[in-house]
Amino acid sequence: MSLDGFVAGADQGLDNPLGIGGEKLHRWLFPASEPRHEGDVPAYEHLSLRRGAYVMGRNMFGPVRGEWDQDWRGWWGDEPPYHAPVFVLTHYPHDPIEMAGGTTFHFVTDGFAAALDRAKRAAGDREVLIAGGASTARQAFAAGALDEIVLDVAPVLLGSGERLFDGVADPGLTPVDVHGSPYATHIRYRVG
C-alpha cells in the first residue's frame, strides 16, 4: 500500500497492470539489485511461507477482463510460487489450470464465500492466504474472514488509484509486528 492508501495506481489495464506508479509499491518485493535489503527479508519470508490454499481476485491473476483469453496462465511463469491450490474469483467460468510445482488455479464463479470455503477444505489444517487484490481483500474484511493482515507500506504517494480500505468497516486491529527498510514498512496486525 502507498502511504496515501492505494494498492494500485490509476488507469490499470493491459499495458499497465499495476496502474500508474503501481510498481513503486513493490520495490521491497522485487529489488532492483540483489541481495534484498535485510529489513525486507522477514516480510518476504512471511509472504513466502507455504500455505494450504490461496484466494485471489481475477485482476490479480491477470490483466484480461471479460471473457477469458485461453492462453493466459498467470503472471508467474510455468512454476508459480504458490505450490498449492489457488482459487480465483471470476464471473467467467474456466477449467482449472494445473501448473508445475503443485499450483493449480481453480476458477470460482459463485462468490467470495464459496471460494473461501473451497480454499479452507483444500487447506485442511494449514493456513489460507487471501493474496489480493484490493476488491478481494475488501470482500474478506466484509466476510469477517481474516485473523491477521500484513500491510507493506511503501514510502510513496500515488495520489490516485484503488484504495485498499474504501468502505471497509473497522474490524479492530492490533499491530503485533513491525519492521522495515528504506523500501517499505511492514506491519502485521491481528484482526478482531
Total number of residues binding a second copy (CB under 8 A)?
31
d(CA 185, CA 134): 19
In this complex, which beta carbon is closest to a second copy, that of residue 106 or of residue 186?
186
d(CA 106, CA 104): 6
Residue pair 112/144 in contact (Cβ under 8 Å)? The answer is: no
Backbone angles phi and psi of 87, in degrees to 5: -100, 115
Q: Is 5 in the site for a second copy (CB under 8 A)?
A: yes
Q: Is 73 in the site for a second copy (CB under 8 A)?
A: no
Q: Is 10 in the site for a second copy (CB under 8 A)?
A: no
Q: Which of 42, 52, 63, 155 binds a second copy (CB under 8 A)?
A: 155
Q: Is 159 in the site for a second copy (CB under 8 A)?
A: yes
Q: Is 17 in the site for a second copy (CB under 8 A)?
A: no
Q: Is 144 in the site for a second copy (CB under 8 A)?
A: no
Q: How far is CA 177 from CA 32, 67, 75, 149, in A?
A: 26, 41, 30, 11
Q: Which three-class secondary structure state does DSSP give residue 43?
A: helix
Residues of this chain that bind a second copy (CB under 8 A): 3-5, 151, 153, 155-159, 163-165, 167-171, 173-176, 178-182, 184-185, 187, 189
